[in-house]
Amino acid sequence: QSALTQPRSVSGSPGQSVTISCTGTSSDVGGYNYVSWYQQYPGKAPKLMIYDVTKRPSGVPERLSGSKSGNMASLTISGLQAEDEADYYCCSYAGTYTWVFGGGTKLTVL
């Protein structure tokens, strides 16, 4: 149950696009199409933003998109806005009703 690998931080200017990577193994990210992404503001609860690799819950802007290739998943945020500044965590199902999270990525909107 080792944590997924995410960059500690990414940044971009308003209107630009950023991509956050999430690297796992064939036992988690590569083995299942059950990657999810969560947004967390400081001191707040995580919020689901992407599930099943590419799906967005109702209310999540289309600017956010997810993808996966092999053992790596990615979250892309296009048209960056100030409100996107937050921590983002990837999560993968790892079999037998267990999950593994990434270490989190701090997104800074310059």
Partner 1 sequence: EVQLLESGGGLVQPGGSLRLSCAASGFTFRSFAMSWARQAPGEGLEWVSSISTDGLRTYYADSVQGRFTIFRDNSKNTLDLQINSLRVEDTAVYYCAQRSVSGSFYFNFWGQGTLVTVSS
Question: Among 36, 84, 86, 107, which residue interacts with partner 1 (rule: CB under 8 A)?
Answer: 36
**Smallest separation, CB 109 to partner 1 (Å):** 21
Question: Among 34, 60, 61, 78, which residue interacts with partner 1 (rule: CB under 8 A)?
Answer: 34
39 binds partner 1 (CB under 8 A): no
Q: Quick one: CA torsion of 74, 6, 61, 50, rounded to 10 degrees?
A: 70
Contact residues: partner 1, CB under 8 A? 1, 3, 32, 34, 36, 38, 44-48, 51-52, 57, 89, 91, 93, 96-104
